[in-house]
Structure 1
Amino acid sequence: MAVRLIPLFGFALVVLSGTASAQQQAFARGEEQQLHYVWKHDTASTQAFTLILPAQTALPVWTAWHSAQAESAVFQQLIRNAQEQFPEVSFRVRKTADGTTIDYQAADQQRLQQAGSWLAQQQKALFNTYLEQHYYKRHGDDNSHLIRPDHVRIAADSSAELLELARTLQRVIVSSASAEQKQRYQNDERLLVVAGLLNFVQSIPYDPLVSADGQRGITFLMPEQVLVQNRGDCDSKSVLMMTLLTALYPDLPQAIVYVPDHALLAVALPRQTGNEEMIRINGKAFLPLEVAGPAEIPPGVTGEKSRLSIRNNQYQYDLLQLAEINSTPN
């Protein structure tokens, strides 16, 4: 009954040769949840503006995954529940080379068998509850030992809190857009805003978020943490981008795409020039967005590793469930 969990490593910096760096020219934290920026998006005029974070958030501050901590919490609750469920059975938690296990004894062999079956089911249920409470999930199927942040759920739960902030960015992007940008995006404001938000998030300085033990990819920042700390790796920045898009366009299908050692976003938007890379999500064509930066990469353009993985179908994805967002109570 040992729990052996392996963190999901990876999420590398994406830099394309021949591309400019996204242009965050100045950043400062002010009082009362204020974030001050000077930012230039492509051919748009340079803008100075302030974003205001919500006073409170319902989401926890992110903490890095620790298998031993999760295992301890699960087994402490498991032994309490077992003693209540089977008072006639003797239970003992024991550490082994493979992890933690529970020994159990009883005179009644039938109850002993029932306890063994119950323990296996209860352990799985408690572990899944632990993942949900801490915004983790398995990477892959239900039997996977790879644990990662529940990126899509974090974005969905953060979107309402960052709605006003997203609207401010939307106004900045639309008001500063050049005639060339408007023509490029065929006077489609949503396409213009998606491209602008992509550039804004790319311009947030890239940070691999190396954990204290030197392993990459274990640490993660919530969307508000990315903004406050003005840094993030590719999955943290992809979740921020998904959060902003979900706040503004809750009917826009989105997915976080996982290729080896990297994460990017994909949205159900059409090609603009006909030359953009596309990715199949649930049988439909999505436009990839390389959010990591610092390269100023337009929608539909990907790094070489992402491109090869997508073309060779070597990717996984987590699709945003629009119904869940639309059914959120007021």
Structure 2
Amino acid sequence: MASKRTMAIRLIPLCLALALLNGTASAQQQAFSREGLQLHYVWKYDNASTQAFTLTLPAETALPPWSAWRSAQADAFVFQQLVRDAREQYPDVSFRFRQTADGGRVDYQTSDEKLLPQIKSWLAQQQSTLFNAYLDQHYYKRHGGNDSHLIRPDHVRIAADSSPELQEIAQTLQRVIVASATEEQKKRYPNDEKSLVTAGLLDFVQSIPYDPLQSSDGLRGVTFLMPEQVLAQNRGDCDSKSALMMALLAALYPDLPQAIVYIPDHALLAVALPAYSGNEETVAIEGQPFLPLEVTGPAELAPGVLGEKSRLYLRSHEYQYERFHPTVTNSTPN
């Protein structure tokens, strides 16, 4: 018998919409340099005074460097392990993997024909288990549900695992934002340091130079950088920057509800913070209004202010999202 096991999985591009966010002034990262783990910035937020400060990257990280998606590598891992597991599960059955033009095929032979339906079902289930294990190991996730053939970086898990490592960096940025806040900024967010700092962090991440992270094969949107890589390389695309922003906020405010929002070719963040001007856009997350955050840059878009394409899709409810579920401990007080 032969059981065809083509993977038919492809990566979904998320950052093809930069031009729609270029309509206003650039966020103001005036200088950047790196010396080892030290990141030196000169940054001006809104009308606040120019700030010079240094962020220190952690000496070690539990997250691997980002590995671009390669279907052939995933197939090789899954099929090699599948055949080994099958031989262990059914020692009296002969299994062999053959590479084909459109994927792969597992051949199997047994003298007990009654086993054939069982083997076929087991192979399908085990292949799914192994593929999900591969995704988990490499911080990928199916986009749109367990049956989807589209995958993307597992942004929420990446942010959650990065957040503890970025706590010192987040706290340094918090101090810079609070210390340099103008009276105008304080009036904009009265007695609400969390909103003040979120707006400052948003401007800081927007000011990191945009890079589509184009792959060597010329396809845009197929690569990604981990949050610490975005900082170290001082570049990132929309979903890389969204994961960084999510991690920084979680490090400071672990009880702040967050979600990453997906529209065609783009990703942005949303947080459960109050609207102060009354003109902010909101996005419904589990039935509750969240403020959207356009992290891509270089446009300085305040919380609740959207690029044209994002506004169109969110207003027409054409979006997907994934929640970053908060904790209720160790939150920095407002």
Does the alignment pair 1:230 with 2:223? no
Name 1:269's counterpart in structure 2: 273
Corresponding residue to 2:96 among 92, 105, 123: 92
Residue aligning to 1:24: 29
Alignment partners' CA distance in 2, 1:193 and 1:15: 25
Alignment match, 1:119 = 123
Taking the aligned partners of 2:226 and 2:49, their CA distance within structure 1 comes to 30
Shift of 1:186: 1.2
Q: Report if aligned partners of 1:287, 1:299 keep a CA contact under 8 Å in 2.
A: yes
Give 2:40's aligned residue.
Answer: 36
Match of residue 314 from structure 2: 310
Match for residue 188 of structure 2?
A: 184
Structure-1 residue corresponding to 2:153:
149
Verify the 8 A CA contact 2:20 2:308 in the aligned structure 1: no
The counterpart of 1:5, out of the listed 9, 19, 24, is: 9
**Residues 260 and 250 (structure 1 numbering): CA distance in 2 closer, same or farther, change over 3 Å?**
same
Q: Which amino acid aligns with 2:35?
A: G
More deviation, 263-272/1-10: 1-10
**1:73-96 residue CA offsets vs partner (Å, 9 max, x unmatched):** 011111001011111111111222
What is the CA distance between 1:112 and its match in structure 2? 2.7
User: Match for residue 253 of structure 1?
Assistant: 257
1:106 has 2:117 as partner: no
Summarize deviations over 1:229-283 as a string: whole Å, max 9, x none.
Answer: 0000000001000000000000001011011111100001111111100000111
Assess, with a 3 A threshold, how the Cα gap between structure 1 residues 109 and 190 changes in structure 2: closer, same or farther.
same
Q: Please give the alpha-carbon distance, in whole angstroms, between the structure 1 residues aligned to 2:46 and 2:20.
A: 17
Report the AA paired with residue 30 of structure 1.
Answer: E
Aligned equivalents of 1:15, 1:45: Cα separation in 2: 29
**Structure 1 residues 17, 141: closer, same or farther in 2, change over 3 A?**
closer
CA contact (8 A) 2:30 2:43 kept: yes
- Judging changes above 3 Å, is the alpha-carbon distance between structure 1 residues 121 and 18 closer, same or farther for their aligned structure 2 residues? closer
Change in CA separation of 1:306 and 1:98 when aligned onto 2, cut-off 3 Å: same
| Matched letter for residue 239 of structure 1 | A
Shift of 1:182: 0.4
Distance 2:61 2:202 in 1: 24
Q: Which moved more, 1:50-59 or 1:94-103?
A: 94-103
Map 1:286-325 onto structure 2 (within 5 A): 286-323=290-327
Shift in CA distance, 209/192, structure 1 to aligned 2, threshold 3 Å: same
Letter in 2 for 1:165: I
Q: Kindly provide the CA deviation profile for residues 127-177 of structure 1, in whole angstroms up to 9, marking residues without a partner as x.
A: 001100110000001110101000000000000000011000000000001
Q: Is contact 1:15-1:295 (8 Å) kept?
A: no
Contact 1:95 1:101 in 2 (8 A): yes
Contact 1:89 1:112 in 2 (8 A): no
Overall identity of the aligned pairs, in %: 69
1:134 is aligned to 2:135: no
- Look up the match of 2:216: 212
**Aligned equivalents of 2:274 and 2:104: distance in 1?**
51
Q: CA RMSD in A?
A: 1.4
- What TM-score does the superposition give when structure 2 sets the normalisation length? 0.95
Q: TM-score, normalised by structure 1?
A: 0.96
Alignment of 1:163-174 (within 5 A): 163-174=167-178
Cα distance between partner residues in 2 of 1:10 and 1:151 = 12
Give 1:18 shift: 5.4
- Give unmatched runs, 5+ long, in structure 2: none
